[in-house]
Amino acid sequence: MGCELTKLASSELNNDPLNRPPPPSDPRSPLSAKQQYCMLASWKGIFRQIEKTGIILFIKLFEENAELLDLFEQFREKTHLDLSTSAELAEHATKVMHTLDEGIKSTGNIDAFFAYVRHVGATHHQVPGFKAENFWKIEQPFLEAAKTTLGDRYTPNIENIYKITIRFILENLVIGYEESTAKQNGNQSQS
């Protein structure tokens, strides 16, 4: 009888998705399955403070790249203090953070990740004066905002995983933007 209970318990344990090892990662992903798991677990801490983290990201972005303020009419004349309390900045920052959230959460399904992130990259053609290289300017402010939000949970391992993840997202935003540029140029030359 004891053996049957042990078998039953071990079979239930194996069917419990929380106790199973993570599935192997897609070779197109720069993250191992373990890194992906750590990223998603850590990201929960940021997601709980998504608006605050987004505001930190954008304030750091504008401090380091003042010329980007020209892309945002509503923020051009605002001081640092105005920006930190701006409802418009909070709204935009939260929207960007939700986009990053969607990208991060879809790293387990690379086809969905590519489709989503590249589509978002392509939509930036709607922003007058936007250039693909602007995406890369988010990397350091994102990492600093994550570090600020996570505090001592931002270990060297988590920092490395965040660097890999944000670079993967930014790289694919750029690809989406550039593919869209190529399509637009192709459509214009056919007219």
The domain spans of the chain are 33-182
Encoded tokens for 188: 């214009």
Give CA torsion, residues 179, 182, 184, 185, to 10 deg: 170
Nearest to 127 by CA among 67, 65, 72, 190: 72
CATH of domain 33-182: 1.10.490.10
Instruction: Summarize the chain as % helix, strand, coil (round to 5).
Output: 80, 0, 20
Cα→Cα distances 17→37, 107, 159, Å: 13, 18, 27
User: 20: helix, coil or strand?
Assistant: coil
Residue 191 pLDDT:
53
Buried b (16+ CB within 10 A) or exposed e, 12-49: eeeeeeeeeeeeebeeebebeeebbbbbbebbebbbeb
Query: Tokens 């993250």 identify what position?
Result: 31
Residue 190 pLDDT:
63
Per-residue pLDDT of the chain (191 residues; tens, 9 = 90+): 444 444 444 444 444 445 555 556 789 999 999 999 999 999 999 999 999 999 999 999 999 999 998 888 888 777 777 888 889 999 999 999 999 999 999 999 999 999 999 999 999 999 999 999 999 999 999 999 999 999 999 999 999 999 999 999 999 999 999 999 888 887 766 65
Residue 185 pLDDT:
82
